């Protein structure tokens, strides 16, 4: 490919002003897929020069579609969104301190090795190991599964592909009682694939009532667009990982842009039972609505503000596309461009368009 790696695999803020610290200095990461300081300056000039239009477009969409109302404007460094927001133990300890009983249980779909970048690792090593609560981890990659078994031998592990068709059978191995499903502490889903349908199966048909949901999102699709890739025979035949090389660089793996689920799909589809608590990188954290007041919140997180000011992890999208869809286009225009991008990418790289949902 031509251009820059950050045009295809990007980490950064959609709102360029989120790069600024309290003194107005732009802080970014030294990375091939992040914006350099000069890029941030260019983005800031673009943002400020069209300030009124951007504010008007975003406000109109938020007024129509927004579910959350809470927002803390305190600037946060990129590390917060990975190290704090995505540590399940941080939120569970807050619930415990508020008097909520924890079962020491979790379901981890797409568990990888259970260690690297897994928001459940600290919980698994401490509270779960101590309590002996029921667990289920599912990982399709044999090598990762072997490493998971070695790292967390006390966790119940299934080395197979999870789907809406076999989730019920997998759950029965550790969560045979309705009471254990109702007492579940955390459900984490990170499949880089069909997160939406799996969540619907788990919550609507299998009766899981986790206190927390941690779900990897497709950060290339901004609010209010509701996107979800569907499980299908076509998907099972398609490669989900693509390697790109820009300007002669070594190939780097990226997820296909049509993978996963968008933030607004989660916020809208699982309301009013689950509400947005935090947006990390790359996972959204949702909490059961009846527990939100225990965390000192009187309203869910504003998904529009969260998306604009959180550290996004994009695969197969450029920062320019996402900013245009969020700040320059209304929901109908943005849906049209997103559809063309996804369908065009799949037709070009997979030879077919995989089944997916896209609406607002």
pLDDT digits (tens, 9 = 90+) for 159-182: 999 999 999 999 999 999 999 999
User: Using CA atoms, how far apart are residues 29 and 83, in angstroms rounded to an integer?
Assistant: 15
Q: Residue 292 carries which DSSP code?
A: G
Lowest mean per-residue pLDDT among 185-194, 203-212, 228-237: 228-237
Give the per-residue pLDDT at 248.
59
Token couple for 129: 């190991």
- Smallest Cα–Cα separation from 16: which of 50, 52, 49, 40? 40
Q: How many CB atoms lie within 10 A of CB 46?
A: 14
pLDDT band at 6 (very low <50, low <70, confident <90, very high): low
pLDDT band at 250 (very low <50, low <70, confident <90, very high): low
Residue 1 has pLDDT above 50, yes or no: no
What's the average model confidence in pLDDT over 311-328? 93
Give the per-residue pLDDT at 2.
47
What's the average model confidence in pLDDT over 272-284? 95
What SS3 state is found at 87?
coil
What's the average model confidence in pLDDT over 129-150? 96
Q: What is the pTM (predicted TM-score) of this model?
A: 0.93
Residue 82 has pLDDT above 70, yes or no: yes
Diameter of the chain measured on Cα atoms: 58
Percent with pLDDT over 70 in the chain: 94
- Smallest Cα–Cα separation from 333: which of 137, 60, 134? 60
User: Using CA atoms, how far apart are residues 216 and 77, in angstroms rounded to an integer?
Assistant: 20
Contact of 223 with 264, CB cutoff 8 Å = yes
User: Using CA atoms, how far apart are residues 32 and 210, in angstroms rounded to an integer?
Assistant: 37
What's the average model confidence in pLDDT over 209-224? 97
For residue 307, count CB atoms less than 10 angstroms from its CB and return exposed for 0-12, middle for 13-18, buried for 19 or more. Answer: buried
Give the per-residue pLDDT at 35.
86
């Amino acid at each position: 490919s031509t251009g820059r790696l950050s045009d295809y695999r990007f980490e950064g803020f959609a709102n360029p002003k989120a790069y600024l610290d309290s003194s107005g200095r732009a802080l970014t990461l030294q990375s091939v897929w992040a914006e350099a300081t000069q890029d941030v300056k260019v983005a800031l000039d673009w943002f400020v020069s069209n300030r009124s239009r951007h504010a008007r477009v975003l406000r109109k969409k938020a007024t129509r579609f927004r579910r959350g109302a809470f927002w803390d404007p305190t600037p946060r460094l990129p590390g917060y969104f990975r190290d704090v927001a995505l540590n399940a133990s941080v939120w569970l300890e807050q619930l415990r301190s508020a008097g909520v009983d924890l079962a020491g249980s979790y379901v981890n779909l797409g568990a990888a090795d259970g260690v690297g970048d897994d928001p459940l690792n600290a919980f698994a090593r401490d509270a779960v190991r101590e309590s002996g609560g029921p667990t289920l981890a599912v990982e399709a990659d044999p090598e990762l599964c072997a490493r998971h078994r070695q790292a967390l031998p006390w966790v119940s592990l299934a080395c197979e592909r999870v789907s809406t068709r076999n989730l019920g059978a997998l759950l029965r191995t550790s969560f045979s009682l309705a009471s254990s499903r109702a007492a579940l502490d955390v459900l984490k889903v990170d499949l880089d694939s069909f997160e939406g349908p799996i969540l619907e199966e788990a919550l609507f048909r299998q009766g899981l009532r986790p206190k927390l949901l941690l779900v990897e999102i497709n950060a290339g699709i901004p609010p209010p667009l509701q996107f979800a890739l569907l499980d299908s025979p076509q998907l099972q035949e398609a490669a989900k990982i693509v390697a790109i090389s820009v300007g002669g660089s070594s190939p780097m793996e990226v997820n296909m842009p049509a993978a996963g689920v968008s933030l607004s799909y989660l916020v809208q589809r699982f309301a009013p039972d689950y509400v947005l608590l935090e947006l990390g990188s790359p996972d959204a954290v949702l909490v059961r609505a009846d527990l939100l007041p225990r965390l000192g919140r009187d309203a869910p997180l504003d998904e529009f503000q969260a998306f604009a000011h959180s550290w996004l992890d994009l695969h197969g999208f450029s920062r320019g596309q996402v900013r245009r869809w969020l700040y320059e286009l209304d929901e109908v225009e943005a849906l049209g461009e997103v559809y063309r991008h996804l369908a065009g990418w799949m037709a070009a790289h997979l030879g077919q368009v995989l089944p997916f949902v896209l609406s607002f």
